[in-house]
Amino acid sequence: MRNVLDWLEAAAARAPQHTAYDQPQVRMSWSELWQRAREIGSFLAGRVPQQCPVLILMEKSPACIAAMMGSVYANCFYTPLDSSMPESRMKMIASVLQPAFVLCDERFETAAKQLVTEEAVCVTERIPASVHTQVLEERRSRHIDDDLLYVLFTSGSTGVPKGVSITHRSVIDFIEWACTSLGLPEGCRFASQAPFYFDNSVLDIYSTMRMAGSLYLTRQADFLFPKKLMQTLEREKIDTLFWVPSALTALANSGLLDTGCLKALRRVFFCGEVMPCRTLNLWKKALPEADYVNMYGPTEITDVCAWYRVERDFADSDSLPIGHPCANTRILLLDGEICVGGTCLSPGYYNAPEKTEAAFVQNPLRPQIREIIYKTGDMGEWNERGELMFLGRRDSQIKRNGYRIELGEIECAMNAVAGVEMGCCYYEAARERIVAAYTGTADEKSLKASLKMALPKYMVPDEYHRREVLPRTGSGKIDRLQVRREVEDEYPVV
């Protein structure tokens, strides 16, 4: 197998009328997805060359997945874009990606035309219902498994988002491992939590495709109403969750979990940030027979590179292992830093060779042959059981609500605001708050308003502290540890 479309075609053949992806009042079967994806692919094939980037500016929906798969049928690769992000950030991503085409919903047509020429934009509903089989077959014949499947953009420390490129081969190996090792049955029913521009969605989308299952597409607003969300999971007979721990924590803390709830749920998987054992224990108490798996991995290694199935008890204060490498994956600890190699590895950051060379390096333990590993920036250690433990970040990158955030990008945005002379920020993990400190004349209200225009919501700081001066290190850099001490001395955390 060398193309993820093989899974789509197999699902459409063996379960044509089975729901593939759905939302309230919106459903797409496997045969409908297959047909619509080929129509979109035929449309794109008449307009763009092979292996070109296609930007997708759409709401999370079955139609969005059809657009993604249509891009693949044209032997191109896709980049889903967060429709709620500021226009300035969209333009920054477009400048890096240089998309050949933009597929969008009607409500985002104007925004899409700000990113490329008007001729390179199409509202997907307007794409004709015609399939050019010969054209698609010709494009498919030129495909190899090292071709790109998608590029997802993450926060960049210089203020410019980084586009992580992932190939078909990486996703194929990852999903085959996931379906086997996680014990996913034919026809499994997922409820997605991750937006499509977040790498956790890869397991959701492609595992259900591989197993001819189905994926219920929850929206971010659904998580604001725990009772309604629980009713949805019950009504939709969800048997598998793959959520960030903060989403599972919110549901656990709602008091709605109890013995006998969520009768269909058999598998609870989590990834994207540290899972508190207190949350895990609340879920285990309510659903003791479910399978719980902790997973770890950055976007650069196709979502997951290590996993741990919970098979023993942990106290609320314990740390949960991230376990062992996935199949065909090598994990090394070099000076305590988690480094990863294998077919899961991204070929690098799109259109950013210098950033690629800094993060994807030769394995120093095998100098005799070219073997590239990715330096995650995460620190780890092996415990007495031979399980990998996550110890935190080496640099200023954090994970919050499942999102990977470079504090340097927030600082770049702060320093660009009129009235800010110098700014910095830090993450207070205990309260899950980003704290900003700055010098200048800007007040908190205007600074926050400016950052809301420049950054996604999950990156906007929660607290602001204007200072007369920011302490410096001996080399002249801002001393962030001292900034934190001074702020906490003046405003003690209760």
Residues 296 and 386 in one domain: yes
CB–CB of 493/430 below 8 Å?
A: yes
- Picking from 97, 46, 49, 95, the residue whose alpha carbon sits closest to that of residue 76 is 49
Residues 225 and 300 in one domain: yes
What pLDDT score does 494 carry? 59
How confident is the prediction along the chain (494 residues), in pLDDT tens digits per residue?
A: 999 999 999 999 999 999 999 999 999 999 999 999 999 999 999 999 999 999 999 999 999 999 999 999 999 999 999 988 899 999 999 999 999 999 999 999 999 999 999 999 999 999 999 999 999 999 999 999 999 999 999 887 677 899 999 999 999 999 999 999 999 999 999 999 999 999 999 999 999 999 999 999 998 888 889 999 999 999 999 999 999 988 898 899 899 999 889 999 999 999 988 888 989 999 999 999 999 999 999 999 999 999 999 999 998 888 899 999 999 999 999 999 999 999 999 999 999 999 999 999 999 999 999 999 999 999 999 999 999 999 887 777 888 888 888 888 898 889 889 899 889 999 988 888 999 999 999 999 999 999 999 999 999 999 999 999 888 765 557 888 899 999 998 887 65
- Picking from 250, 293, 285, the residue whose alpha carbon sits closest to that of residue 268 is 293
What pLDDT score does 412 carry? 81
- Structural domains counted in the chain: 3
Which residues does 486 contact at the CB level (< 8 Å), separation at least 6? Answer: 467, 471
The answer to whether residue 52 sits within a structural domain is: yes
The answer to whether residue 154 sits within a structural domain is: no
Helix H or strand E segment including 73: helix 62-73
Residues 216 and 260 in one domain: yes
What pLDDT score does 493 carry? 67
- How many whole angstroms separate alpha carbon 204 and alpha carbon 209? 9
Helix H or strand E segment including 215: strand 214-217
Which residues does 153 contact at the CB level (< 8 Å), separation at least 6? Answer: 79, 93, 96, 97, 161, 162, 163, 164, 197
Residue 65 is part of which domain span? 1-143
Residues 404 and 282 in one domain: no
Residues 381 and 480 in one domain: no
Q: Indicate the residue among 395, 422, 456 that finishes a domain.
A: 395
Cα 87 vs. chain centroid, distance in angstroms? Answer: 20
The answer to whether residue 151 sits within a structural domain is: no
What pLDDT score does 421 carry? 85
Q: Indicate the residue among 355, 371, 395 that finishes a domain.
A: 395
The answer to whether residue 156 sits within a structural domain is: no
The answer to whether residue 188 sits within a structural domain is: yes
Which residues does 423 contact at the CB level (< 8 Å), separation at least 6? Answer: 411, 414, 415, 417, 436, 437, 438, 439, 440
Residues 376 and 477 in one domain: no
The answer to whether residue 152 sits within a structural domain is: no
Q: Indicate the residue among 336, 366, 395 that finishes a domain.
A: 395
- Phi then psi dihedrals of residue 237, to 5 deg: 55, 50
CA distances from 309 to 181, 182, 339, 458 (A): 10, 9, 21, 29
Which residues does 134 contact at the CB level (< 8 Å), separation at least 6? Answer: none
What pLDDT score does 476 carry? 57
Residues 101 and 128 in one domain: yes
Give the pair of three-digit tokens for residue 100. 């050949």
CB–CB of 408/415 below 8 Å?
A: no
Terminus-to-terminus CA distance in the chain, angstroms?
56
- How many whole angstroms separate alpha carbon 82 and alpha carbon 89? 10
CATH of the domain at 40: 3.40.50.980
Residues 291 and 368 in one domain: yes
Which residues, listed in sequence order, are joined to residue 55 by a DSSP beta bridge? Answer: 79, 102
3-state percent helix, strand, coil for the chain, nearest multiple of 5: 35, 25, 40
CB–CB of 222/200 below 8 Å?
A: no
CATH of the domain at 428: 3.30.300.30
Residues 94 and 182 in one domain: no
CB–CB of 416/442 below 8 Å?
A: no
Q: What is the DSSP letter of 104?
A: E
- How many whole angstroms separate alpha carbon 39 and alpha carbon 103? 13
Alpha helices in 74-225 (DSSP H): 87-97, 109-113, 133-141, 168-181, 201-210
Residues 476 and 349 in one domain: no
What pLDDT score does 446 carry? 95
